Amino acid sequence: MSSINGLGREGPAPVVEDEITSFFGSAPPLKDSEKIFEKLNRFIELNSSPQGGDGGERRIVCVTSGGTTVPLEQRCVRYIDNFSSGNRGAASTEYFVKAGYAVIFLYRRGTCQPYCRSLPDDPFLECFEFPDGSDIQVRSSHSEAVKRAVRDQQAAVAESRLLKLPFTNIFEYLQTLQLIGTALKDLGPDAMFYLAAAVSDFYVPWNSMTEHKIQSGAGPLDIRLAQVPKMLWVLRTKWAPSAFCISFKLETDSKILLEKAGMALRKYKVHAVVANELLTRKEEVVVVSTDGNVLVRRDTDKPGSDVEDPLIRLIMDRHSAYIKESHT
Ligand code: 9Z3
């Protein structure tokens, strides 16, 4: 992931549309796209009909989480990846569900999952034991965390508050995001996109990718990466133009972070950009919008608190104001 991306090119020009058509036209077909679309529509219907879930209409947010890979071969052996752990997306999902939202969690396979953040990294091996040959049971040291995780996750799924859709590579991510965008279009301002996934800026177009494993005998490797078209623009203008949209900006250099976030805000006309720095991303973020910049910090007096707690409260308030404004 890099930030030396499309921002140098001024304004979303028609060329973006050609790039997008060519991206989707040459991408391998999304596996199970019909099933995904069905699942999505069922989830949206359940949450937007007064009979569904707990009897009331809910706002729906699509939270994207984790990083996209960039395959180097069609029968992929090697790929380019990025650092994202999925912690931001998983934590944010928990706070959105707690606040009454239904969440479509579009996540990278193998990254952090909602309600599992307090479990050890290898939960199955660490959490259970067979005392004296009797039935498997949860170790007492992990019992509270496991109970909480199982209870909260099962409640969210049973009440249709959480739909998880996985991706691995940049093609799957953008194709699934397009399905979600299209499916949420009719919800207008009640829908939200919270784009915390770390999306590759560069990729190898499918039709210029070698089919088989790249051979090392051929010496040093030169690969030309094309720029991933800025789908944020098409999401905002075509897929779900009335949805409330929050994007993220990551930098490692604090001196350029806010300027870059401001540029993204203006260029894609999102409702806010959450600016974060790699090293301090779990401690603080800055919400950049046309109302100014708001610094959001984790409550350091509360052990184990998350920056996503105050962040989601702020985003929800902004979303409520947006819905109200859209109806007047
Ligand atoms: C973020 O900035 C997220 O907050 C993080 C979260 C990826 C830093 P973790 O998954 O980290 O909890 O380990 N996401 C967006 C990053 C991104 O790709 N932004 C693009 C950019 O900066 C714009 S779409 O150019």
278-298 pLDDT, tens digit each = 999 999 999 999 999 999 999
pLDDT at residue 50 above 70? no
Output the ligand 1 site: residues, CB below 6 A: 1, 3, 5, 84-88, 196, 198-199, 247-250, 276, 281
278 CA distance to ligand 1 centroid (A)? 9
Residue 5 pLDDT > 50: no
Residue nearest atom 6 in ligand 1 by C-alpha distance: 88
Enumerate helices (H) and strands (E) in the chain, giving the number of each.
Answer: 9, 14
| Index of the ligand 1 atom closest to the CA of residue 82 | 7
Which residue, judged by its Cα, is nearest atom 16 of ligand 1?
198
Ligand 1 centre from 277 Cα, in Å?
Answer: 9
Give the DSSP letter of residue 54: T
> Does residue 207 come out as left (phi exceeding 0), alpha (psi in the -120 to 50 range) or beta?
alpha
The predicted structure's pLDDT at residue 55 = 53
Q: What is the pLDDT of residue 145?
A: 82
User: Model-level pTM?
Assistant: 0.92
Give 244's strand partners: 192
User: Which tens digit of pLDDT belongs to each residue from 57-108?
Assistant: 689 999 999 999 999 999 999 999 999 999 999 999 999 999 999 999 999 9
Q: pLDDT at residue 121 above 80?
A: no
User: What three-state secondary structure class fits 89?
Assistant: helix
- What's the helix, strand, coil split of the chain in %, to 5? 45, 20, 35
C-alpha 276 to ligand 1 mean position (Å):
8
Tokens of 239: 């897929």
Q: Are 124 and 182 in contact (CB under 8 A)?
A: no
CB-based burial, 197-228: b 16+ in 10 Å, e otherwise = bbbbbbbbbeeebeeeeeeeeeeeeeeeeeeb
Confidence of residue 124 (pLDDT cuts 50, 70, 90): low
The yes-or-no verdict on residue 264 having pLDDT over 60 is: yes
CA 202/CA 211 separation, integer angstroms: 19
b vs e for 233-265, b when ≥16 Cβ sit within 10 Å of the residue's Cβ?
bbbbeebbebbbbbbbbbbeeeeebbebbbbbb
Q: Quick one: pLDDT at residue 3? A: 33
Closest ligand 1 atom number to CA of residue 111 = 10
* Element of type H or E holding 165: strand 162-167
**pLDDT for the residue numbered 226:** 94
Which residue has the least CA distance to atom 19 on ligand 1?
Answer: 249
User: How many percent of the chain have pLDDT more than 70?
Assistant: 92
Please tell me the predicted confidence (pLDDT) of residue 2: 36
**AA identity, residue 20:** I
- Residue whose CB lies within 8 A of the most ligand 1 atoms, among 113, 167, 249, for a mutation test: 249
CB 244 within 8 A of CB 189: yes
Q: Looking at residue 4, what is its pLDDT?
A: 29
